[in-house]
Structure 1
Amino acid sequence: MLPGHGRYDYRPWRGRPAYEWPGGTRLAVYVGLNLEHFAFGQGLGAELAPGANGGGGPQPDVLNHAWRDYGNRVGAWRMLDLLDELSLPATVLLNSAMYGHAPQLVAAHRARGDEIAGHGRTNSERQSTLDEAAEAALIAEATAAIAAAEGAPPRGWLSPWIAESLVTPDLLAEAGYRYTLNWCADDQPIWMRTRAGRLLAIPYPQEVNDIPAIVARKDGAERFARMIVADFEERLRQVARDGQPQVMGIALHPYLVGQPYRLRALRGALERIAAERDTVWITTAGAILDHVLALPEGMVP
């Protein structure tokens, strides 16, 4: 037997119970907007040019740090304008360090009623490298910061760099979380087992995601926008054909898609989705959780 995680059973796509999203729709679409802050001169971070200073030199890596900070200073505000223009909600995946670094930006999302989900303290660190007590402390610190600022603790979590230890789902459930975005194993929400009860895994994309597309594969702005539209239109075809509900997430980082030429391409893709708001459910991850919780037992694998 191969080692396994034991968090969920294999359930083939065919033969699952079919259910609907609100309004009789079968496709739920949400924007996962990552608001991240990075340490200067140390720690992890996406790179515009590989290696510190573009050539493997020593820290401080001014080029890549400043490029990422552009997202919070400029790109994220342009993303807010675009979301307002198209009347799109967002699930904000928030490093709690953002409260100290860019509180006005978090306040702007609060004002428009966006969901705030936990995304660690900073994307300069991975929780998977910590022992259990230190990881629990990280989750508790980030959760407390969001609860203090937003008036309620977050219900969902995305680990920085999607990094988990063997006990991360257990620690999340024990900290009061109801869903995780870490596991990209399905096109529907699925229940995971933890030592503190069930935790819902809501699909979060690793394909329709600007980090692997733009940073890793070096896809251009138009190609990434076409990817979003192709994913959306194929899903529309599938749900009409087989009746199975699906979740489509769109993962975005303002230091990438907030660049003007990428924003222009992204606008066209999101306009295509917004035009179907009467036939799809444009929502948040938290609202998906609420809908799943209201379904009859056994509908969700």
Structure 2
Amino acid sequence: MHRDPNLYDFWPYRDRPKITWPGNKKVAFWVAPNIEFYELDPPTNPSRKPWGRPHPDIVPYSARDWGNRVGHWRLMEVMDEFKVRGSISLSVAMLDHHPEIIRACVEREWEFFSHGIYNTRYSYNMTEAQERAVLEDSIKSVMDATGQRIRGYLAPALTHTERTLDLLAEYGFWYSCDLFQDDQPQPLKVKGDNRLISMPYSLEVNDVITYGVYNQSPRAYADALMRHFDQLLEEGAETGTVMCIPLHAYLVGHPHRIGPFREALRYITSHRDDVWVTTAKEIAEFYLAHHYDQTLTDIARRGNARPGTGFNPIPQEGV
């Protein structure tokens, strides 16, 4: 029997306190292009193999390399068209491998958050010292290259240790994308007098899942994005929701896929009177300042709070 990891409290979706986004928007909408580097012959991890076939394997390597050489630029143009800034889920090694992509993102004032160093190096079996080194390197390297203090984290290939969330809070991160339990931000239970929230990311409308697992057509994917948005917009009239579209340029950036995605982005952004088109960092900062405490109060009111949640000070930018 697996025990509940107790990372967050049970918080029923109905009858929650109202979340009001800036400008009384109903949906906070953000797009998360994963800008990643997959090594041709990565170090062996006993818990997981990076490639399905014996490696070095040039086929999956080159397919992903196409995303950085071609697909990302096509995706960036579409996002520019609809004035959508990306929140980059960054393999930090990309700062060295493709600095031209980083410069293009900085010019557009896109956000960066850490997705580990390489997407082919997993957190499984890391020591605490190794995991700390990844976080410290992420913070310093992105700051040196972009001037940004990263505030978010998505573990490489969604791999974690039992200490990951506590370390994120200790190092001044504001949000984690590694949990998928809700359509609104929620406080996470971490050690010390720190705050960390779960930021709504998505597997259901992640192009890796829709194309690689569900085998959806590009038009079916675009339709799913629009229906997903419509539901969150309807519910957002009662209390603000969050929609994230996680993307990978080596998938959505292909010529036969980018057109339907463009139409979905056109549809969502056409509702700007009701939609806050923003970044994950801006959502986290606003939520921490305006709604974090009321969430904890509501959880306690329902009698669902368990040890581990505290009323902690609001983090300040630049810390």
Q: TM-score, normalised by structure 1?
A: 0.92
1:201-250 superposed Cα distances (whole Å, 9 cap, x missing partner): 1100010101111112222211111110110112122223xx02110100
Give distance in 1, aligned partners of 2:28 and 2:291: 19
Aligned residue in 1 for 2:260: 265
1:140-166 superposed Cα distances (whole Å, 9 cap, x missing partner): 222221111122320111111221111
Residue 136 of structure 1 pairs with residue 132 of structure 2: yes
1:298 shift after superposition: 2.8
Residue 210 of structure 1 pairs with residue 207 of structure 2: yes
**Is the Cα–Cα contact under 8 Å of residues 233 and 241 in structure 2 kept in the other structure?**
no
Aligned residue in 1 for 2:272: 277
Aligned residue in 1 for 2:19: 19
Greater alpha carbon shift after TM alignment, 272-281 vs 123-132: 123-132
Question: Secondary structure at 1:138's aligned position in 2?
Answer: helix
Give distance in 1, aligned partners of 2:291 and 2:245: 28
Structure 1 pair 218–45 and aligned structure 2 pair: CA distance change class (3 A)? farther
1:31-57 superposed Cα distances (whole Å, 9 cap, x missing partner): 01100001112368887xxx33xxxxx
Residues 159-178 of structure 1 aligned to structure 2 (within 5 Å): 159-178=155-174
Residues 164-243 of structure 1 aligned to structure 2 (within 5 Å): 164-196=160-192, 197-240=194-237, 243=238
Aligned residue in 1 for 2:290: 295
Give distance in 2, aligned partners of 1:157 and 1:148: 18
| 5+ residue gaps, structure 1 | 53-57
Aligned residue in 2 for 1:30: 30
Residue 114 of structure 1 pairs with residue 110 of structure 2: yes
Give distance in 1, aligned partners of 2:244 and 2:124: 24
| 5+ residue gaps, structure 2 | 297-319
**Is the Cα–Cα contact under 8 Å of residues 205 and 245 in structure 2 kept in the other structure?**
yes
1:132 shift after superposition: 1.8
1:299 shift after superposition: 2.3
1:261-289 superposed Cα distances (whole Å, 9 cap, x missing partner): 11111001101011111221111101101
Give distance in 2, aligned partners of 1:113 and 1:42: 32
The one-letter code sitting in structure 1 at the alignment partner of 2:245 is I
Give distance in 2, aligned partners of 1:82 and 1:146: 25
Question: Secondary structure at 1:143's aligned position in 2?
Answer: helix
Aligned residue in 1 for 2:317: none
Residues 64-103 of structure 1 aligned to structure 2 (within 5 Å): 64-103=60-99
1:77-110 superposed Cα distances (whole Å, 9 cap, x missing partner): 0111111111111101111110111100011010
The RMSD of aligned alpha carbons is 1.7
Greater alpha carbon shift after TM alignment, 190-199 vs 117-126: 190-199
Question: Secondary structure at 1:32's aligned position in 2?
Answer: strand
Give distance in 2, aligned partners of 1:297 and 1:284: 18
**Is the Cα–Cα contact under 8 Å of residues 210 and 253 in structure 1 kept in the other structure?**
yes
Q: TM-score, normalised by structure 2?
A: 0.87
**Is the Cα–Cα contact under 8 Å of residues 92 and 117 in structure 1 kept in the other structure?**
yes
Give distance in 2, aligned partners of 1:25 and 1:5: 34
Residues 240-259 of structure 1 aligned to structure 2 (within 5 Å): 240=237, 243-259=238-254
1:19 shift after superposition: 2.2
Aligned residue in 2 for 1:7: 7
1:150 counterpart (139, 146, 149): 146
Give distance in 2, aligned partners of 1:213 and 1:279: 27
The one-letter code sitting in structure 1 at the alignment partner of 2:244 is G
**Is the Cα–Cα contact under 8 Å of residues 127 and 138 in structure 1 kept in the other structure?**
no
Question: Secondary structure at 1:247's aligned position in 2?
Answer: strand
1:259 shift after superposition: 0.6
